[in-house]
Structure 1
């Protein structure tokens, strides 16, 4: 009896651990932060925000394999994908009334990026695209592309910018742990920089993200991603996926004074 009880508890534990991470899908529901997270690269406040897991496969291209992992790896011909430790990532997004938040926990056994300025795409790092009205038309002036990487220091570049923006104002932290083979990205972007996006429950933006790989190529040799072809092989807003801002609130406090994962679960 104890044996079966242990197995049941183990199953519940595993479900609890992995319930917040999903396979690559075409729509992501971004919850609202009750309080702004500290942008420090620790991801303390992100544990209950749903994540999307990006990885590769050595046997399958662009579909679910036997382990229920969606392969999003693409190579430019030099780099090869060997394992989750070689390159994989879990990204998350959230919002509050004034800010769009993004984080990624990247597993990469080797981090290298010798670029600077507008060339930080050419090495290990993260890029994402925001289509603020989800019009899925040409980039033009109203589809924005951001890149973040750890070069000689944590760095950001915007290749496509809101014309009303008065300068790069995002807050960000990038933390590398060579012993663990991980890089953490945490970003907060003021809503004014992604206008006319509306940060409100039910609103939808176009969104895509890639995580670049540079082990042996001397630059961008491949990537895993979500809606990757909005960014690579030409800029195409119609290839972005949908990111929906939802009313679920992360970190709300219940009337009993206990922290709740989602306000919707306690409001009744």
Structure 2
């Protein structure tokens, strides 16, 4: 049906206009006395006989909103609507669409043994990525970089993949344990060892969670592996959490043996960090994700590329 493409005129004006021109060129015509037909099959030269009035109304409203902003302007004058939008964390304006490409990051080989102790001496030369809203916002509402953002750095050696996540969070909340840590502030690290697309709850893939512990000082971070339905052993995943003035830091070593990966220079590891943010002060939550894209019509998800450097 043409309704969806044309009703979105205020969001995708050029694409919707191109769709309108295409619909106008179709034979037999899908335009009639009362507007566009509800359904058609161009390959079979078939046009449905029905025209749905509610669809035409939405189409006209979409076009008018694109022309004059009528709906947005009218709704913005309503105090109840403004309060509701504020409560759900709605931000006016526009943002660039996230293009579904597979991002990559080169991972340097550690020049010395990496100690998981919360001290960051070994990380000075490590490369990484930054997760900031709105570019990497996957769901929910995150106001700005101080509300939630992260710098993620990587190192590797023959025994483990090392990950350092420095999270900015102006309201750190973590009261849950084990498989419920995702309900509060935490880091999630996804790994697809086979590189064939991560499948949810497949024990061959990984969703490893790291949560900050006590409110002061260093602690063993809370960890959980959801697809394996248990906490990893310290030999499999070792992690330390440190609260900071503006958030928290997670330093972790993830054993290659645990992941079922044989590391070597030039290997590409399919992985993605994610940051879940829950705030009590403003009762909101959101999630930042580096890469988690659909693979065709399958249930698999494509992650980012970590390229192991010599």
TM range (shorter): 0.5 to 0.7
Whole-angstrom CA distance in 2 between matches of 1:53 and 1:131: 21
Give the equivalent residue in structure 2 for 1:14.
Answer: none
1:86 aligns with 2:147: yes
Whole-angstrom CA distance in 2 between matches of 1:96 and 1:167: 19
Q: CA deviation at 1:204?
A: 1.4
> Is the 2:271–2:306 Cα contact (8 Å) retained in structure 1?
yes
Whole-angstrom CA distance in 1 between matches of 2:299 and 2:124: 32
- When residues 237 and 104 of structure 1 are mapped into structure 2, their CA distance, relative to the original with a 3 A threshold, is farther
**Alignment match of 1:130 (pick from 191, 203, 212):** 191
Whole-angstrom CA distance in 1 between matches of 2:130 and 2:291: 13
Higher Rg: 2
1:97 aligns with 2:97: no
1:201 aligns with 2:265: yes
Whole-angstrom CA distance in 2 between matches of 1:162 and 1:99: 21
Q: Give the alignment's Cα RMSD to 1 decimal.
A: 2.8
Whole-angstrom CA distance in 2 between matches of 1:217 and 1:119: 20
**Alignment match of 2:278 (pick from 189, 193, 214):** 214
Give the equivalent residue in structure 1 for 2:79.
Answer: none
The number of residues matched between the two structures is 200
> Is the 2:102–2:305 Cα contact (8 Å) retained in structure 1?
no
The residue matched to 1:120 in structure 2 has which SS? helix
Deviates most, 113-122 or 165-174? 165-174
1:35 aligns with 2:112: yes
Q: CA deviation at 1:86?
A: 1.2
Whole-angstrom CA distance in 2 between matches of 1:93 and 1:48: 10
1:120-161 deviation per Cα after TM superposition (whole angstroms, max 9, x unaligned): 111111001111121215352311110000245621001123
Whole-angstrom CA distance in 2 between matches of 1:120 and 1:158: 11
**Runs of 4+ deviating beyond 3 Å:** 165-168, 216-220
Give the equivalent residue in structure 1 for 2:127.
Answer: 50
Whole-angstrom CA distance in 2 between matches of 1:246 and 1:161: 29
1:198-257 deviation per Cα after TM superposition (whole angstroms, max 9, x unaligned): 211111121011111011399982111201458xxxx9543212211111xxxxxxxxxx
Give the equivalent residue in structure 1 for 2:241.
Answer: 174
- When residues 141 and 183 of structure 1 are mapped into structure 2, their CA distance, relative to the original with a 3 A threshold, is same
Higher relative contact order (CA 8 A, sep 6+): 1
- 1:1-268 equivalence runs, <5 A: 26-57=103-134, 71-76=135-140, 80-136=141-197, 138-139=199-200, 140-152=202-214, 154-161=221-228, 167=233, 169=235, 170-177=237-244, 180-195=245-260, 197-216=261-280, 221-228=285-292, 237-247=300-310
* TM-score, structure 2 normalization: 0.58
1:159-180 deviation per Cα after TM superposition (whole angstroms, max 9, x unaligned): 12399x9845321110002xx2
The residue matched to 2:151 in structure 1 has which SS? strand
- When residues 41 and 95 of structure 1 are mapped into structure 2, their CA distance, relative to the original with a 3 A threshold, is same
The residue matched to 1:160 in structure 2 has which SS? coil
Greater share of residues in helix:
2
Whole-angstrom CA distance in 1 between matches of 2:278 and 2:258: 30
* TM-score, structure 1 normalization: 0.67
The residue matched to 1:121 in structure 2 has which SS? helix
Alignment gaps of 5+ in structure 1: 1-23, 58-70, 248-268
